[in-house]
């Protein structure tokens, strides 16, 4: 590389940092590709649904249909995508911008994005996952309060 306004040593340093930058960019794009790996029901979606939806969406629950099984969820993938994206589900009345409550039941942007990617990539089932990997975390288990 010929940079007339820099000393030879500075040119070499500049060159080295360009190479470093290129390597870094390369690593970032590899990470990006890995980050885009397939979203599946068993690996990503089931834990979200179990922690945030099945307290109501189960047989005999408050909601009109169950979301307990893969079939239940896959059949409604599009609707689930739109109601989560619009934040219609899970039901939540308080404005998240002002207060946050200990048992708040909102999905994160990341969870909503996962649901969207899952739906758009054909709502795949995915591999069997050890049960422990998909057990909902207790602090996310919603309590139903009619406020
Ligand atoms: C507090 C109870 C409760 C929770 C938690 C809940 N739902 Fe619901 N859901 C309902 C009820 C009740 C209805 C039917 C009335 C309505 O559509 O508002 C419903 C309706 C729906 C519908 C149909 C909407 C339509 O337009 O036909 C979808 C899809 C849905 N829920 C998905 C979800 C998903 C996904 C989650 C978790 C992220 C979730 N729900 C969490 C109670 C709940």
146 inside domain: no
Q: Residues in the chain with pLDDT < 50? A: 102
The residues, any chain, with a CB within 8 Å of residue 46's CB and separated by 6 or more, are 70, 73, 129, 134
**Cα dihedral value 33, 124, 72, 95, nearest 10:** 10
Residue 66 CA to ligand 1 centre (angstroms): 10
Q: What is the model's pTM?
A: 0.70
Instruction: Tell me which residue range forms the domain holding 123.
Output: 41-140
The count of domains in the chain is 2
- Substitution candidate for ligand 1 out of 58, 83, 106, 119 with most atoms within 8 A of CB: 83
145 inside domain: no
Q: What is the DSSP string of 109-132?
A: HHHHHHHHHHHHTT--------HH
**Are residue 32 and residue 61 in the same domain, yes or no?**
no
**Are residue 133 and residue 62 in the same domain, yes or no?**
yes
CA gyration radius for the chain? 23
């Amino acid at each position: 590389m010929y940079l007339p306004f820099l000393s030879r040593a500075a040119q070499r340093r500049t060159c080295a940092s360009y190479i470093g930058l290129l390597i870094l960019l390369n690593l970032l794009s590899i990470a990006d590709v890995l980050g885009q790996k397939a979203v599946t029901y068993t690996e990503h979606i089931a834990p979200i649904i179990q922690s945030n939806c099945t307290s109501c969406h189960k047989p005999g629950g408050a909601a009109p249909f169950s979301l307990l099984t893969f079939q239940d969820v896959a059949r409604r993938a599009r609707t689930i995508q739109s109601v989560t994206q619009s934040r219609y589900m899970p039901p939540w009345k308080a404005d998240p911008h002002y207060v946050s409550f200990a048992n708040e039941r909102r999905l994160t942007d990341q969870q909503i994005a996962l649901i969207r990617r899952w739906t758009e990539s054909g709502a795949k089932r995915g591999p069997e996952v050890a049960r422990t990997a998909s057990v909902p975390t207790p602090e996310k288990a919603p309590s139903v309060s009619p406020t």
